Amino acid sequence: MNLYTLAAAAADVPQNEFGFIAAMKQGGPVAWTILTVLIIMSVGSFYILFTKLFEQNKIMKQYKTVQSSFWRAPTLREGAAKLDKDSAWRQLADDAIKAQEDHGKMTDSLEAHDYMTGTMQRSEDSINAVLAGGLPFLATVGATAPFVGLLGTVIGIYRALIKIGIAGSASIDKVAGPVGEALIMTAIGLLVAVPAVLAFNWLQSRNRRIAEMLNGFATDILAYINSDGAVRPAVKAAPAAKPAAKPAAAPTKA
C-alpha cells in the first residue's frame, strides 16, 4: 500500500464535527459573544461571593472583641480604642461618642435620645449599605443568565431550521451542530444562574444576622449613654490566670 492510498484512506475517515468547540465554531461570533457574556457573569458572581464572605467573616470575628473587651472598659472612649480602626463596631462607637458631644453644643431643646438614635441609625444604614454592595449584581445574574443562555438556544434552533430548509430534509448531520449549540447555551446559562441565586440568598441571610448584631450593639451603647454608664451588657468574667509553678526545692546536703 503506497502513501497515496494511505492518504486517501485517511481522508475518507469521518471527522468528528460535534462537541463543544465544533458547536461554538458553527455558532460563529454570536455564539462566542453570548458565551463571553456568561463567563463574565460567572466570574463576577464568584468574585462578589468570596469578597463579601471575607467582609462578613471579618465583622463577625471582630464582634468577639466587642463582647470580650469593649464592655470591660470604664468609658466608651477607652472601649472604642480597643476596637480595630476600620471595623464597623468602631464606627458605631465613634459616631455615638461624637453624637453625644455634638448634642451638648446645641442650644435647641432637641432630645438627646432622639438625636443620638437618628445618628446611630444613619451609621448602621451606611454599614449595611457597604455590606449589600455587589448583591444586586448577583440578583441580576441569577435573573438574566438563563435568558442570555436562552438567546443562544433560540439562535441555535433558528440556524438548525435554516439548514433543514436548505437541505430539504432533517438529517442528523445538518441539525446536530446547531441543536447541540442550543443545548450547550441553555446548560451554561443555568450553570451561571444557579450559583448566583444561591450566593445571593446566603449572603443576604448573613447580612440580616449582622444587621441584628449591629442594631443590638447600637441599642446597648444608647442605653449606656442615657444611663451614664449604669446600664451595660453583662460580660463573662475574664479567665483567671493560672498560678505560676513553684520552683523545685534545692536538695539538702547530708
Predicted confidence at residue 14, as pLDDT, reads: 46
Domains in the chain: boundaries: 31-226
pTM: 0.75
Could you give the CA distance from residue 223 to residue 116 in angstroms, rounded to a whole number?
11
Model pLDDT for residues 53-86, shown as the tens digit of each residue: 999 999 999 998 888 888 888 888 888 888 888 8
pLDDT category of residue 13 using cuts at 50, 70 and 90: very low
Predicted confidence at residue 117, as pLDDT, reads: 85
Tell me the pLDDT of the chain averaged across its residues.
Answer: 80
Task: Tell me what percent of the residues of the chain surpass a pLDDT of 90.
Answer: 34
Model pLDDT for residues 143-166, shown as the tens digit of each residue: 999 999 888 888 777 777 777 777
Task: Tell me what percent of the residues of the chain surpass a pLDDT of 70.
Answer: 73
Report the b/e string of 234-254 with b at 16+ CB within 10 A. eeeeeeeeeeeeeeeeeeeee
